[in-house]
Amino acid sequence: MNANQWQQFLKRYSLELLADNSEIEVDEEVYQSQWMGYEPATETQIVEAEKRLGISLPNSLRNFYLVTNGWRETGYFIYDILPVEKIDWLRIRDSHLYGIAFKAEKRQDIPDNY
């Protein structure tokens, strides 16, 4: 998705989430703005994350962050999407889950930077 497509989709999604889900707990200002996102990430923030991770983010993800630097609840089982400065490899963010995931796959050939 390009940034314009993300913007349109996320605006619609915000409206649907706030209208349909009374279980979402957000500040009154979020209800007033009808926007579940945040301020956009800067190009500098994105480039710094890419350097830290040692990769280029996929274009669609870069464009997402250029529209909003993270996301509040999705209304389902994902409670938030991290801001670009907090994203990291699963093995670093949650080494226990990383171990479970790859033990279940019985894979021994996972590269260290995965």
pLDDT at 109: 59
Bridge partners, 37 (sequence order): 71
pLDDT at 110: 58
Per the CB < 8 A criterion, the answer to whether 39 and 46 are in contact is no
Q: pLDDT tens digits, the chain, 114 residues: what are they?
A: 999 999 999 999 999 999 876 677 888 899 999 999 999 999 999 999 999 999 999 999 999 999 999 999 887 778 889 999 999 999 999 989 888 887 766 655 556 555
pTM for this entry: 0.84
Q: What single-letter amino acid sits at 86?
A: K
Q: Where are the domains of the chain?
A: 3-87
pLDDT at 23: 73
pLDDT at 112: 59
Dist CA 39 CA 73 (whole Å): 16
Radius of gyration of the chain measured on its C-alpha atoms: 16
**Tokens for 16?**
């649907």
pLDDT at 98: 86
Per the CB < 8 A criterion, the answer to whether 112 and 98 are in contact is no
